[in-house]
Amino acid sequence: MIFRKKTYHIKPEGLEAVTDFFHTYLLPNQWKHGAKLVGRWVSEDKCNITAVWQYESYEAYEQIEKRVRTDELHTQAQAKKPLILPFILSSSQEFMESTGDYHVPRHIVAVSGLIQNEAGETLLVKTNWRNDTWELPGGQVEEGEPLETALVREILEETAINVKLTKTTGVYQNITSRIVSVVFKGMALNTEIVKQDSEIQEAKFVMLTEENASEYITRFHIATRAIDALKSEGSVPVESVKVKPYERLHRIGN
């Protein structure tokens, strides 16, 4: 794991313009291609802005930067950059390594789904930061969001496909990235795909089988989830509740 520290020395009156430029062009472009922002800070005198980014390796940083610089957002940023240049006095960048893990232990919860149409075809997507493979659609669960609500939302945001979830097919853990992933199975309520999320490159329905899954899903741990879902017969109940007072929000399964 490496960290990139980027510092801008600016005129204080330019803080709002520089920050707006960052939020509009730089941040979404970096997020889109897999960079993780640890944090962004401004000094008390409003003269120095520092952002720290996290990458799996220097090679990962180079790959992300290559994709960032060919993105339409980068082209738009270059066109708007002259508006903020008068406020920027200088900038610097350095790479650092952590001396340890000082975070409170936590996990990211993600959801994905084997979503099929009436013909039995499975919806697959290809993301910008894992464009070497197709995968089941899904994403991260927001704080306070039920699992099934998160998956329905993610699929709709990415592909314009509405889905009805019918059961759960597996729970998976990525120790390295601290991700716990819950996989569902469901039906597509409409079949016209409209790619409307910049995080994905493509989306399509394919006749996915246990035999050909690895031809589409080239990362074995993701393929395993799809195959398990294809073969699944039973379902473990999943229930979302809130307490004080108790209220059941969602439940799938018996």
Residue whose token pair is 């246990």: 210
Residue whose token pair is 């991700």: 179
Q: Which fold has domain 108-235+245-252?
A: Nucleoside Triphosphate Pyrophosphohydrolase (3.90.79)
Phi, psi of 110 (to 5 degrees): -125, 160
Q: What is the pLDDT of residues 53-84, one digit of tens each?
A: 999 899 999 999 999 999 999 999 999 999 99
Q: How confident is the model at residue 119 (pLDDT cuts 50, 70, 90)?
A: very high
Helix (H, G, I), strand (E, B) or coil at 199: coil
Q: What is the pLDDT of residues 126-153, one digit of tens each?
A: 988 888 899 999 999 988 899 999 999 9
pTM value is 0.63
Does CATH number 3.30.70.100 belong to domain 2-96? Answer: yes
Q: Domain segments of the chain: what residues?
A: 2-96, 108-235+245-252
∠ CA 131-143-169 to the nearest 5 degrees? 60
Helix (H, G, I), strand (E, B) or coil at 182: strand
User: What is the C-alpha separation between 210 and 224, in angstroms, rounded?
Assistant: 9
Contacts of 143 (CB under 8 A, 6+ apart): none
Phi, psi of 207 (to 5 degrees): -80, 85
Nearest CA-CA partner of 178 in 102, 99, 106? 106
